Amino acid sequence: MFTYNYRLMHEPRMRAAVQACHRAGIGLTAMKTMGGGPVKSDSDTEVKMAGRFMQKGFSDYQAKLLAVWEDSRIASICAQMPNLTLLAANAAAAVGQVRLSQGDRALLARHAAETCGDYCAGCGELCSQGLSQPLPVSDVMRYLMYYRAYQDPGLARDCFAGLPGQVRQELARADFSPAEAACPRRLPIGQLMREAVNILA
Ligand code: SF4
């Protein structure tokens, strides 16, 4: 079971890894397929995408599922379905006859490229190594994702409250510039850590 979505599927190392697993006969279950992140920026492509998909009878949410499902190397998707609306949308996408066109996929890829800095890929070993003390940057990014992408402030705050008090204090005042320099997605880590302390504490 691995994190896989319309953003990560274009990265060369991910493509090679999926192909290697497929060749080795390893079943792959994708999770975090929506590609939500700690930042939610406005994107013209996202608006265009939503309009285009709606005309074709499905939502951008369903399109993101289809982008993963239509790859026969992916055996299944593990999706959180906290309400009946999402359950119905997932079921409709699973049994529907709709398929993404090349143009649909290109739009998803364009959106992924334009909003690259909205998404934390969870590669915490990269951003943590430049810090003078160990701080759980990728975990806090995930809590912000719960808050902003999943719109689940309760879960985000519960997770954040589980961090030791000393760590929460350091998140607000540490110098994250070495971590920002190491981040392949150029996330404004210091600003996001301070936002997390303000929003989630
Ligand atoms: S290096 Fe960037 S993308 Fe990777 S975990 Fe750290 S903040 Fe997220």
Protein residue whose Cα sits closest to atom 4 of ligand 1: 123
**In sequence order, what are the residues at sequence separation of 6 or more whose Cβ sits closer than 8 angstroms to the Cβ of residue 90?**
62, 65, 79, 81
Identify the pLDDT of residue 94.
86
137 touches ligand 1 (CB under 6 Å): yes
Q: With 0-12 CB in 10 A as exposed, 13-18 as middle and 19+ as buried, what is 12?
A: exposed
Q: Which helix (H) or strand (E) holds 31?
A: strand 29-31
Is 121 touching ligand 1 by the criterion CB < 6 Å? yes
Looking at 96-164, list the stretches that DSSP marks H as alpha helix, in order from N- to C-terminal side.
102-114, 124-128, 137-148, 153-161
DSSP state of 129: T
Cβ proximity of 154 and 143 under 8 Å: no
CB 130 near ligand 1, within 6 Å:
no
What pLDDT shows up at residue 99? 86
Atom of ligand 1 lying closest to residue 189 CA: 7
pLDDT digits (tens, 9 = 90+) for 97-126: 778 999 999 999 999 999 999 999 999 999
| Structural domains of the chain, with CATH | 2-115 (3.20.20.100), 124-200 (no CATH)
- Measure the CA–CA gap between 119 and 186, rounded to whole angstroms: 10
Query: In whole angstroms, what is the distance from residue 119 CA to residue 113 CA?
Result: 10
pLDDT digit string, tens, across residues 141-187: 999 999 999 899 999 999 999 999 999 999 999 999 999 999 999 99
The model's pLDDT over 11-64, given as tens digits with 9 standing for 90+, comes to 999 999 999 999 999 999 999 999 999 998 888 888 998 899 989 888 888 999
Give 188's DSSP letter: -
For the whole model, what pTM was predicted?
0.89
